[in-house]
Structure 1
């Protein structure tokens, strides 16, 4: 009888402890120095490309299944890769200005996964909350994971984040000065 009461007491204590401290999935930190985020923006007369650095990030797994993720981007690191010299400097300065990403007052952006669904052996459909300039909007994209590498491509509508410069959504009669609202982010992560 005493053994049964002791067993029940131990079961209750360890059972409640397990409920109070559930085992979370494994979080794998992203190697930010080895990962890349490339952007491409489009205008009537062409396009520009560049990079932006991750400040931190992780992907969360349950076994080998992706279940979550969270990233912080260093907006002050935005660079252009298709121009040189004075024009490169002017574009980078403009992207950092209040006309675009206002990096002095908004030095980071973030992405937090809110839903992850397997769509294939190594593929997932992800929905997340993307925050740019303090504005949070949902985005959807695909993620592929192979070993210690993950890739994703996102289309982002800058107009949703109050990035107005040269946007036909905010200004009329821009002609060939129009910059399209959607830009692409191509993300290659090393875990």
Structure 2
């Protein structure tokens, strides 16, 4: 009986010791592109415009329940306006897709690749990554929250860093009420 107890205790100790030094593997969770949403909002002197843009593909990487990485590809050809209708909507969408703005014929996708993820709370993270728009890559930092199988983020992007200069007072004088502000916002709701 003593030997059986010693054997059981030995097995339990070995198991606990082994598990305490085993690290969970990274798990890649694919983003459900049709259930996820990216909303953009751009500002000008006389108001603003907003719309959506589609995620072509993406994933978040977890080590256990902790976010450790991720990457996304955005379909720039999907830029749409949700605050206008009819002819004005088509004109704005066409202009945003033109070389004046995002040049989607030459640059059909944009991307974001996480390079560093730091936990800032139980479900919140400070993410640093490389964002590429129109062939230009810049480092960006954003706050991301994860709850269950959903994640949210909002970020501000300076379009001029990606050679999107149309209507920018940083490059053109005398625009007056035709000026378009350099920063635009993205609000991202992901499901994975």
Q: Which TM-score band (shorter chain)?
A: 0.7 to 0.9
Larger radius of gyration: 2
**Aligned pair 1:57/2:58, yes or no?**
yes
Alignment partners' CA distance in 2, 1:23 and 1:125: 22
Q: Report the equivalent of 2:101.
A: 100
Q: Secondary structure at the match of 1:92?
A: helix
TM-score normalised by the chain length of structure 2 = 0.87
Deviation for aligned residue 1:24: 4.8
Deviations 1:136-165 (A, max 9, x none): 000111000000100000100000000010
Deviation for aligned residue 1:23: 7.8
Alignment partners' CA distance in 1, 2:30 and 2:172: 42
Deviations 1:72-104 (A, max 9, x none): 000000000000100000000000000000000
Q: Secondary structure at the match of 2:122?
A: coil
Q: Report the equivalent of 2:85.
A: 84
Q: Report the equivalent of 2:159.
A: 158
Deviations 1:11-35 (A, max 9, x none): xxxxxxxxxxx98510000000100
Q: Secondary structure at the match of 1:176?
A: helix
Q: Secondary structure at the match of 1:58?
A: strand
Deviation for aligned residue 1:173: 1.2
Alignment partners' CA distance in 1, 2:48 and 2:103: 21
For the aligned residues, what is the CA RMSD? 1.1
Question: What are the ranges of 5 or more consecutive residues in structure 2 without an aligned counterpart?
Answer: 1-22
Q: Report the equivalent of 2:40.
A: 39
Alignment partners' CA distance in 2, 1:165 and 1:155: 18
Q: Report the equivalent of 2:13.
A: none
Alignment partners' CA distance in 1, 2:137 and 2:112: 9
2:142 and 2:154 in contact (8 A); partners too: yes
Q: Secondary structure at the match of 2:172?
A: coil
**Aligned pair 1:27/2:28, yes or no?**
yes
Alignment partners' CA distance in 1, 2:81 and 2:25: 39
Question: What are the ranges of 5 or more consecutive residues in structure 1 without an aligned counterpart?
Answer: 1-21
Aligned residues: 170
Q: Secondary structure at the match of 1:182?
A: strand
Q: Secondary structure at the match of 1:32?
A: coil
